Chains A and B, each alone.
Chain A
Amino acid sequence: MSLLELSGIGRDVRLPDGSLLPVLAGVDLSVAAGEHVSIVGRSGSGKSTLLNVLGLLDSPTAGSYLLDGQPTDSLGGRRRSRLRGETFGFVFQQFNLLPRRTAEENVAAPLLYARGRDFLTRNRAARTMLDRVGLGARALSVPEKLSGGEQQRVAIARALVRGPRVVLADEPTGALDVETGAAVMALLTEVTAENGAALVTITHDLSVAALAGRRFRLDAGRLTPVAAGDALAAATSDRTDA
């Protein structure tokens, strides 16, 4: 059974003139536990909307979304929030670290919403996770004192600290230079795999997409697997080989 199972997902957005704009249409996607999937698409193709639907930040207007075999459309707001916190870790393009909090406080922040032992030992867990991403020495630095690469590593540690089953990364290298981006991606892939979490990466960077076991293209709201002979497949294949 797939961990995430999307069938015929559609998402319409109402425009100011009252008309509906389909952002996603008939999206089918299944992601197994521990799997690495990438979704490539141009700006405005609906990538972020799909990620938001996957992460229970947004609700589809059509289709069904099963999380661990359970339908998500009937979830109440409270249960939805809890499930989101317990199941998903997010990595954003702009890092979205909490300003003026230390790296340790940032990494520990998701555990403020955990319960029991996880909540009480949050600072220790944050330190451990920072060590794993190589930033143990910068635990007390605030984001303003960290480089872009370091900030994204803190964000990766934060996404993984609660032991999520799925990491959703939205353009994780979008704000980094090529070299730093590659290093961050390698780290994200490695640490996610170590944790046994699935990784869904949304990107327009072909080299980032190439790291995934399965690759999809999102175009005008429609998701299609990258088939052999596809230009994207060729491009990612080249990069992978390289």
Chain B
Amino acid sequence: MTGLLGTFSEAWGEVRVHKARVLLSLVGVFLAVLAMTTVTALGQIAAQVQQEQAEASGGRTATIGVSAYDPMTGNVPRQEWDAGVEALVTRYGLPEQAVATLAQESGLYRFPGGTQSVETRRVSPSYGPLHRIQPVEGRWFRAGDRQSLSPALVVNQDFLTLLGVTDLSTRPTVVIGGSQPVLATIVGVVAWNEGWPSTYRIDSSAGDAVTAAGGPGFGASPTLELWVPSEQADAVVAAVQTDLARLLPGAEVQAYRQDPENLEDTIAKLRLAVRAAGLVVLALGGLGVLNIGLVTVRQRIREIGVRRSFGATSARVFSAVVLESVVATALAGLAAVAMSVAIVRNLPLERWLAGGVPLVDAPGFPVSAAIEGLVAATAVGALAGLVPALIAVRVKVIDAIRF
């Protein structure tokens, strides 16, 4: 035990006495670990941004899009479509949160500046979680919104600006024009800045029956989205296509995977590339430590000889020289990781990477990156200390003392 303590004590003494040399040799390792750790952390955040943006449009892994159209009339009648979907969902026992609907249409909205056509996505409440939509103010749709006479809307910032309100504290409403106008209630705001107004509208509301404004299927072909396990996606595509075609005679049914299938691979490759670059930088830093270690061990030959006269064994000399390098690089690694955490935590990364859209699952500083940084720094120290340690062990004591 005291032998181990002695080795640490000796190594720490060396680091302390040769502060300037040690600091100089560690600049490379510090910068390398800082770069590697920071880039790995940034890579993870960027990957999360990319994933959330992709899922916002295509849905989570794996989302199957299903649509149908009548070659003769265009759209499939709503009642037939609804019946077909219900039969399909029942048949496969799909849970409510795994099934979403989307219909895109243009709606006429009465803004203070006049009526304007706005891109409207009529969606089921399950559409939000499936696409990771997180309102920055208010809330997403609930099943209960379907019971309201006033259709619920979740609008973007441009829509809200056009309406002349800044937030939802006044419970803003907007009239959806047309032959039978209806007063809609804005329940949430999303942060997407598309540059023009757009809105989500609950797929159906009690008011639809009164106004006969209709649901999905009147303005555009409806799309059914099914969230299924990735490994079952291909089987579901084939089964849904066949079954729904049978349930909707005369209609052309299309089923396809709409989430970005290769996203995970792409992100994995991106992370690999970042890590490889970090390792190259770290190796260069390690070479710097090795270089200075080689020079200084030659300058310390007399000292090594004197220590041998004190009874230092070869193993002790070897471990002390390696440990000196390891202690120094581990400290450099620790400092680099601390600075990396400070950088990543304090920079407005979401504003830069996601265009100001807050992440739903914002990743914290990845612990794995911090651990990797420390392990890498320590490993580089051990490797860089190996050659000087071998030289130190081979020093002939008599020559060293006379040196």
Residues from chain A with a CB closer than 8 A to the CB of B105 are: none
* B119 at interface by CB-CB < 8 Å: no
Query: Cβ of B310 and Cβ of A85 under 8 Å apart?
Result: yes
Interface size class of A (residues with CB under 8 A): 20 to 34
* A46 at interface by CB-CB < 8 Å: no
* B307 at interface by CB-CB < 8 Å: yes
Query: Cβ of A96 and Cβ of B311 under 8 Å apart?
Result: no
Query: Cβ of B308 and Cβ of A57 under 8 Å apart?
Result: yes
Q: A96-B302, A100-B17, A105-B13 are in contact. Are A112 and B308 (CB under 8 A)?
A: no
Q: How far is the CA of A110 from the CA of B310 in the complex (A)?
A: 5
Query: Cβ of B6 and Cβ of A84 under 8 Å apart?
Result: no
Segment 276-312 of B: residues with Cβ below 8 Å from A: 302-303, 305-312
* B347 at interface by CB-CB < 8 Å: no
Query: Cβ of A119 and Cβ of B315 under 8 Å apart?
Result: no
Nearest-CB residue, chain A, relative to B303: A98
Q: A98-B306, A119-B5 are in contact. Are A113 and B17 (CB under 8 A)?
A: no
Residues from chain B with a CB closer than 8 A to the CB of A86 are: 311
Q: How far is the CA of A85 from the CA of B13 in the complex (A)?
A: 20
0 or 1 for each of A8-31: is its CB under 8 Å from B? (1 = yes): 000000000000000000000000
Query: Cβ of A57 and Cβ of B5 under 8 Å apart?
Result: no
Stretch at the interface among A75-83, A174-182, A187-195, A210-218: A75-83
* A55 at interface by CB-CB < 8 Å: yes
Max chain B C-beta neighbours (<10 A), residue from A57, A77, A81, A88: A81
Query: Cβ of A55 and Cβ of B310 under 8 Å apart?
Result: no
Segment 90-130 of A: residues with Cβ below 8 Å from B: 90, 92, 96, 98-101, 105, 109-110, 112-116, 119-120
Query: Cβ of A115 and Cβ of B311 under 8 Å apart?
Result: no
0 or 1 for each of B314-325: is its CB under 8 Å from A? (1 = yes): 111000000000
Can you give 19 A-B contacts (C-beta < 8 A)?
A48-B398, A52-B397, A77-B313, A81-B312, A81-B316, A84-B311, A85-B311, A96-B302, A96-B401, A98-B306, A100-B18, A101-B17, A105-B13, A110-B311, A112-B310, A113-B6, A119-B6, A120-B2, A162-B310
Residues from chain A with a CB closer than 8 A to the CB of B350 are: none
Residue in contact with A82 in the complex, picked from B302, B305, B313, B397, CB distance below 8 Å: B313
The count of chain B contact residues (Cβ–Cβ below 8 Å) is 27
Shortest CB distance B390–A (Å): 15
Per CB-CB distance, the 3 closest pairs between chain A and chain B, nearest first, are A85-B311, A110-B310, A119-B2
Segment 358-403 of B: residues with Cβ below 8 Å from A: 397-398, 401-402
If A81-B311, A116-B2 are given as contacts, then 15 extra A-B residue pairs at C-beta distance below 8 Å, sorted by A number, are A57-B401, A58-B398, A77-B313, A81-B308, A81-B312, A81-B314, A84-B311, A98-B303, A101-B13, A112-B10, A113-B307, A115-B2, A115-B3, A119-B2, A162-B310
Residues from chain B with a CB closer than 8 A to the CB of A81 are: 308, 311-314, 316
Query: Cβ of B313 and Cβ of A52 under 8 Å apart?
Result: no
Residues from chain A with a CB closer than 8 A to the CB of B314 are: 77-78, 81
Segment 53-86 of A: residues with Cβ below 8 Å from B: 55, 57-58, 77-78, 81-86
Query: Cβ of B306 and Cβ of A52 under 8 Å apart?
Result: no
Residues from chain A with a CB closer than 8 A to the CB of B402 are: 48
Nearest-CB residue, chain B, relative to A155: B306
Residues from chain B with a CB closer than 8 A to the CB of A90 are: 309
Shortest CB distance A120–B (Å): 7
